[in-house]
Every structure is written in C-alpha cells, then in structure tokens.
Chain A
Amino acid sequence: MRMELLSEDQQLIADSAAGFLRDGHGIAAFRALREAGEDANSAILGELAEMGWMGIVLPEALGGVGLGYRAAGLIVEELGRHLTVSPFVSSAILAGTALASAGGDMAQNWAPRIATGDAVVALAMDEAVKHRPERIATTVSGASGALTLTGRKTFVVDGGIADRLIVTAKRGDDLCLVLCDPQAAGVSRTPQVMLDHRNAATVIFEDVAIAEADILAQGATAEDVLAKTLAAGRAIAAAEQLGVAKAAAEQTYDYLRTRKQFGVLIGQFQSLQHRTADLYCELAQVSSLIASALNALDEGSAEVETLTRAAKAKMARVGRQATEEGVQMHGGIGMTDEMDLGLFMKRDRALTEFLGDAGYHTEWILRQRGI
C-alpha cells in the first residue's frame, strides 16, 4: 500500500518496472547469473536503454527522457526488490547526473551513449574502507599538456565493466573530475566479486596521461557537480535499499501467516506481531522520506542535502532491521541459501556502505545543526 501520491507518468513507470523485472529479471535470474559466475548481466543493459530508463534523468538534449529522480526511484526500488544486477545506479544515475550537471563537450559525447546503453560510465571516488568523498589523495599534476593522474580508488561499483571512469582528484587545492579511459596506459583495475555478487573494482592510476579536455569540471564547478551527483546517488541508493527491505519484509509477513509451530500459526504470537508491525511502520515512514528526498532533487529544493542524507542514514537502519528480522523470524530456514532472505541481507549490507553509512550522514546533520 503506497501512501505517497504518484503522477500518472510515475504510476506507469512503477507498474512497468514491476512487470518487466518480475518477468525474466527477478531473483531467479539473479541466482542464474550467480551460478554462471557472471557479475555483469550485460544482457539487461540494452533492455533498460530500450525503455528509456538509462536516460531517465538525462534531458532530451542529451539523449534522455528527462523524467527525473522520483521516477528513477520507482525503477530502482523494483531493481532492489528483484535483486536485479545492472549498471543503472552507477551509469544512469551517478555518471548521468555528473555529466548533465557539468555540461560541455564531454556531456554531449558521453551522456547519449549512457542513455543508449552503448557505454557504461562509473564513478571512482572512494579511497578508504569508509565513504569519505572529501578526503582525496589522488592527484592531477604536471604542466598543461603533460598532465598525469595518480592515485588509488576502491569500491568502484561497476568499475570492472565500465568504458569510462569519472575520477575524483585534487589539482593543487582544486577538486577535479577526470574522465578516464580504464584501458589507458598506467591504469590497472582489479575487479572483485562482492558479497552481494556485484562487481566493484579497485583501480590504480600510475602517472596516467590525461588532457585538459578530459577534465569534466574543476574547482567550485567540480564541487557543485560532485555534490549534486552524490545527493542523487544517495537518494537513489536508499530507494534501491527500500526495495530490498520491502521484499524481505513481505516474505516475512507471508511466512508468519503460513508457518505453524506449537500447533498454531507463528503469526499469532504477539512478540512477533509487534516486532513485525514496528518494522512495517518504519518502512512506511522511510518510504515517505525517500520520496521526499527524490522530489526535492527534482524540484532543486534547498532541502536536498538534508533530505538525501537523512534518507540514506534512516534507510541504513531500517534496511538492517528488515533483513535481520526476516532471517530471525524465519528461523533456521532463513539461514539457508535456498531462501532469498540471505540475498537481501547481503545486498542491504553493501548498499549501506555505498555512498555513506548512517554514521557518516548523521554526522553531517549534527554538524549542520552546530553540534
């Protein structure tokens, strides 16, 4: 039961996303990919592009459909619910937002290719085990005409399959966003399969030659582009995590309605009823928060930073509650690989770390309140 009101367009997108992912790209498909040892799911990219979803936040001038972040959130919630592997978040949202807000030739070159699925672009930003995008040791140095990029990036989601990387670096005191070809000399990338069976790479840049034209944005512009990109990423990641959590919760509600122990349905036990109802309430309110954060992105409201950070922080707590309660209430069977709960729990864990956990974003809110 959705309480946030949707426009007709948005309802259409929510319905088609649910249908598309249920038929052929659901959890069975995820399991098949995992059995086959494949972590790229390259087949889905063309289909996502076909429906316009890879260009969902890009303006028409850049080959997109310009439906905005709220619509993107509805799609990604379904991607979460079905554990669908795709470069939607990395390429369509993070890279798409970065390119669209930076503008210029590079946006003209690459954004349309993201929208058609001809290229995957990933954001290389983290350098330590925790998301601290403001702490950057990667540098752009040398005189104009002999610029080099040097540094080490970790947890580059879809970094192993990306055609281009947007790399955060420092040029003197200036933030730079560099569009880098991972095939270039001096780039070495080590793709890893993570616990949620997604691909994330560690990428090392050693004196990689770059041109001025490869610098997507620099200085205050780069700060602004990165802020917009991260804000969008946070709200979208939270929406995906919401889908994961709702799926875990719904399987749990079902289990409580059917599983018998001590001669009764376990859903009759008040201790389980109250914990389940508490989870339901938390999911309801975090849904509103995430929808508000996505609306704020679309409206360009002054609340974007606060709402997207609160959404990411709150969703980390609710996602953990949903998946942990799911396993616990299922009992032993919840620990088996055959059930989906473990898959939800692993995906939830990864999404919590991705783009900053509850502590990171709560700290920002505390700082903003002056304490």
Chain B
Amino acid sequence: MEIDTFRSETRAWLEANCPADMRTPMGEDDICWGGRKFVFRSPAQKQWLEVMAAKGWTVPAWPKAYGGGGLSGDEQKVLTEEMQRINARPPLQSFGIWMLGPALLQFGSEEQKRHYLPQIARGEIRWCQGYSEPGAGSDLAGLQTKGVDTGDHFEVTGQKIWTSYADKADWIFCLVRTEPDEKKHTGISFLLFDMDSAGVSTKPIKLISGASPFCETFFDAVKVPKDQIVGARGQGWTIAKYLLTHEREMIGAADSALFAKSDIAADAMSAIGLDDTGRLDDPMLRAELGQFLVDEICFDTHLDMTGTYMRAGHELGARSAELKYLGTELNKRRQSLRVAAGGSDDLVWEGAANDAGQAAKDWLRSKANSIEGGTSEVMLSILSKAVLKLPG
C-alpha cells in the first residue's frame, strides 16, 4: 500500500515538475553533466536539474544527509518506472554519481561525505577520473604518477591518459603512488584535487570517431592538501577496485543509458528493402541480425534481473565484470549491424546528410567499449579467478 502511495505522489510530482522539453528523446549533446563550466542547453534543462536536485532525486539512493533522496530499493524502482512512463530525461549524469559517490559513501570520512556528495548531487562539480597512464593501461596498478609528502601536502607529478572529459571537469579523483617503497598494489593513494590547481594541464586526444572525449592530463608539482586523501595512505588500490566495479556496472548498463537504441530492424528494412518472400534482401545480415535480436532480448532481461537483485541489497562484486563484458560486446555488435544496415548511406561523414554520419561515428566510438574500464580480456580473467576460482 505504502508503495502505491509513493507511486501516485511521485507521478503527480513529476507531472507537475518535469518540463515538457525534458520529456523528449535525447542525443549525446543533450546530456546534463553539470559542473562549473557547464552551459545549459535550455532554461528547462536547468530548471529540471534544480527541482530534481532539491528533491534529492538526482541520486535517489543516497542518504538525504548527503543530498540524496534516501529512497528504498522499491521506491527507486518506482521512480525509474514513473520517469520512463513520461520519457523524462535523466536530470544529471556524471562520474561523480556513478563512480566517486559510491566510493566516498564506502571509504570517505564523514567530513568528506558532507562536503563532496551534496556538490555532486546538485551537479555543481564535475569530476573526472585519473586512472590510466601511458605505461599503465590494463596493468593499472603499475601506475607511476608520484605524490611526494612534503609535510603539509602531497606534491603530485606525472601523466595520466584516457582521462574522460578532463578538459571539461572541475575536479579529479586520482590514483597516485605515495608510498614508493611499498609493493605495487599497496603503494597507491586515492587523492581528490581541483583541476584549476597550478601545474595541471590537459590535451584532448582525437579518436577514430573524430571526437575527443578523452584527454592526456599532465601534473607538474601540483600541491594537494593532505585532507584531500580518501581512505588511508596506500589504500588507493582497494578503493580503485571498488570504484571500478561501479564503473563496470555503469558501462555494462550503458546499453540503455548512454547509447540510443535505434530500431536496427526497421532501419535495415527501409534502407535495404525486402525480397520476394518478404524477408530482408540480405540473408547474411538478416541471420546476424536475428542472433543479435535474441541476444539483445536476453541481455535486457539480465540487466533487469540484476537491477532487482541489487535493489534487494546484494552487491555484484566481481560479477560487475560479467555485465561489463556482455554489455559492451553486445553494443559493439549493435553498432556494427547498424552501419551494415545503412550501407553506403552510413559512409557519410561530413555535412548535414544522414545525421552527419552519426551511425559511423557511434560504430567507431563503440570499439572503445571493450577497452575502457578494463578490456574484455581483463574482465574474463577477473571472472575466471574471482568467480570460477580457476587457478592463477
């Protein structure tokens, strides 16, 4: 009964507060990332963020004390369903919500939680993630960026790479080697600092898709106050691993969140046409598409079941690698099929025609899905050891 009341109240509130412009399908450019440098695309986008943040519903699962909604698992599900019902856009998306927030909730001091979490919830600070380095990709724990203890602060020097949106971010959560005499995994600390600090510079990397979502990030003797460490010195790897499980869940689930799920079957039919028997006039593509559609239905049910499982209070742990692997491999197939269905139309790259080659750009972008956040091969290695308990 209580949940029914919550549903009707939520429905009425959304009806009254979600602007009409925020109930239309969104492209990648319509995402609200928040942050000091963010320029709202419309007054409605700003208003939507503000009313949702005031309600704590940008982060409905977080405790109210930290700017969240304090909703139970069932209530979160209702909120999601009611937002989907009216096609409400997510008011805010960010690495702060997906990754840093959960890590702070788990490992942060009370002071840090009260300081950083509400800023994330209100979309005031946009975070980026300083993990990979030129010499430490899949072998992330081999990172070399140093943080030298100078008494009242750490002095950070080194280089990060593949830092998503570093040029647009306000702050960074960063893995830094502060204990050079410790072993590889126990010498790392988890530091937070302002990207406007002296000594920080970024350089976007142009990708095969033409976009530059990733940067090289350089630190030259950046001063980081000592109270901006999360957890203990040397505990960084433990925090990083915890955070990575959230990142993997997010990338795995991005199937529905980040990528427009176009109707490939309908697109293929209009682009290629049907043969005399009423089937798509490309039997090989049709067969591949059939297998893909079955796999897509399958993965959607799996995400749904996983969501229910997590809302019931279970942690996914190493199984986040399973979602990441399945979700990203599936999305790569989706984008390949999409450009194959488009044929020569989807070779268009510049100009206004064919949505300026969005399908081709999405296809190329998707190649990173099984690399970023840990490669598919790393995911399979994690699963074989942590879940299947195969010998190391």
Contact = CB atoms under 8 A, between A and B. Distances in A.
Contacts of A274: 377, 380-381, 384
B23 interface: no
B280 A371 contact: yes
Given A277-B383, A362-B294, A292 B325 contact: no
Contacts of A371: 265, 268-269, 274, 279-280, 286, 289
Assign chain A's interface to a size class: 35 or more
Given A274-B377, A280-B388, A314-B298, A292 B305 contact: yes
Interface stretch (B9-17, B145-153, B306-314): B306-314
A256 B306 CA distance: 28
A264 B391 CA distance: 9
Interface string B237-269: 000000000000000000000000000011011
A268 interface: yes
A16 interface: no
Contacts of A280: 322, 383, 387-388
B293 interface: yes
Contacts, number: 131
Nearest to B386: A277
Specify which of B297, B299, B325 lies most central, judged by the most chain A CB atoms within 10 Å of its CB: B297
For B322, B325, B389, which residue has the most chain A Cβ atoms within 10 angstroms? B322
Contact of A256 (B293, B295, B390): B390
Contacts of A365: 290, 293-294, 297
B326 interface: yes
A3 B305 contact: yes
B220 interface: no
Interface stretch (A42-50, A216-224, A282-290): A282-290
Given A273-B380, A274-B377, A285-B326, A268 B391 contact: yes
Given A281-B326, A366-B289, A288 B383 contact: no
B380 A278 contact: yes
A38 interface: no
A310 interface: yes
Contact of B312 (A5, A306, A362, A366): A5
18 contacts: A1-B387, A253-B388, A253-B390, A264-B391, A273-B385, A277-B380, A277-B381, A280-B322, A285-B298, A291-B305, A307-B301, A310-B293, A310-B294, A362-B293, A366-B265, A369-B265, A371-B274, A371-B279
Given A277-B383, A285-B302, A311-B298, 20 more contacts: A1-B319, A3-B305, A3-B306, A272-B390, A274-B377, A274-B384, A276-B390, A277-B380, A277-B387, A280-B387, A280-B388, A285-B299, A288-B304, A307-B297, A307-B301, A365-B293, A365-B294, A366-B265, A370-B265, A371-B280
Interface of B: 265-266, 268-269, 274, 279-280, 286, 289-291, 293-295, 297-299, 301-302, 304-306, 308-309, 312, 319, 322, 325-326, 377, 379-381, 383-385, 387-392
